Structure 1
């Protein structure tokens, strides 16, 4: 339920590696996470797909100094800078990584196979040319934190007004998982990120969790079409703020360069 995009893991741990704060193996393992394997195709100088460790080294040799996240959706090209071909691929995946220091970007293609409970997930990152320009609509960390505080208040008001109760086994399990993660002190970002970025990311994930629960739950599970339309309309601005904050947090290591 917690929103941790693969592009976020790649950017965060890739930035830590580029800064010399983690080893290539540690970065690769952290990026793969619970997936089975990640490979990168289309890298300049590589004729075939390569593993993450080699890919990150190749990107550094190509002049990449940092990695930024893009989380675009229809009508909101958040974090993108073009060209249209790359934007279209990123929009289809709803995420991408954009390199700083080289005109390259990476878009994930996720494949799942296997029976329920034993799903094998593999990811191929497609390396494509990008336009070197400021990313679209990415706020500063300070701006994102202020927007999030207001969004959290708005989300609470909206859920109350729409009579969407964040209760029941699914909601309780999601909230318990969030609390356990926070209490365990699990790193939500890689080494090298400022404390404010960690705080903003954790709060953005909390807001995203509340929005997800609101979309999934209605009056006893039955949601009329008009009620769902009202819910989506009310929560869309809150969801947009959460995505902007996620991008600001992941990108803060590059903006500090």
Structure 2
């Protein structure tokens, strides 16, 4: 969970564009980020793939008033509402964007080429019909914030007890270094999002970094199969909480708009 999901960038900057807070070209550049190019295919009214600037304008013309994020995982259709074809594509990708107001969704297909250190990344967003219904298992910002605080304490407690690399002062230093890299010169969310959404997303990333460090920094004392299984059991609910909070943060723009 170190990297920002592409669906999060598309939803956040797409929402800022729909709100009139950023110009189309700026929104498209922010979504593309370090990738080479993004295109959208199967968009209603377009016979061929189009660039993001045109695609976002077309979605607005089709009645889209907001963009939500889905981050599903096996057994957890987080942010999805159907139909099965869209859910299956989103689950395979691990992420998707659901358009509020038009019954459409976007699923990214990522292709990479080139040598290490000079990788060329292209993203094709496939546009498919979605069912307009409440998304699955998305908490409110308040719920997400409370769950994250508890998840951070629980993850640290359990991983320390299991003697897993990724807990303790070394992990804290690594997380702080990661945050310094990712936050330097970059906005956590696009303009228009409430401060609480920014706070929740920052905490979700911190929890996600802890989970990733626990998996990546060697085995620590967890050398047996049973200890490795215990680590997985400890991390799965924490990672699930962090994903739910990410979705709540990215979707806060649409939720606030609906409340108003």
TM-score interval, normalised by the smaller of the two chains: over 0.9
1:14 corresponding residue in structure 2: 14
CA RMSD of aligned residues (A): 2.0
1:41 corresponding residue in structure 2: 41
1:148 corresponding residue in structure 2: 148
Q: Deviations over 1:16-73 (max 9, x none)?
A: 0000000001000000000000000000000000000000000000000000000000
Give secondary structure in 2 for the equivalent of 1:106. strand
1:177 aligns with 2:209: no
1:220 Cα offset (Å)? 4.8
Check whether the contact 1:110–1:121 (CA below 8 A) recurs between aligned residues. yes
1:208 Cα offset (Å)? 0.4
- Give TM-score, length-normalised by structure 2: 0.93
Check whether the contact 2:166–2:215 (CA below 8 A) recurs between aligned residues. no
Q: Deviations over 1:189-221 (max 9, x none)?
A: 000000000000000000000001111234459
Structure 2: which 5+ residue stretches go unaligned?
Answer: none
1:2 corresponding residue in structure 2: 2
Check whether the contact 1:3–1:208 (CA below 8 A) recurs between aligned residues. no
* Structure-to-structure mapping, 1:204-243, within 5 angstroms: 204-220=204-220, 223-243=223-243
1:171 Cα offset (Å)? 8.7
1:132 corresponding residue in structure 2: 132
Give secondary structure in 1 for the equivalent of 2:112. strand
Give secondary structure in 2 for the equivalent of 1:46. coil
1:179 Cα offset (Å)? 3.3
Alignment coverage as a number of residue pairs? 256
d(CA) in 1 for partners of 2:171 and 2:148? 24
Give runs of ≥4 in structure 1 deviating > 6 Å.
Answer: 167-171
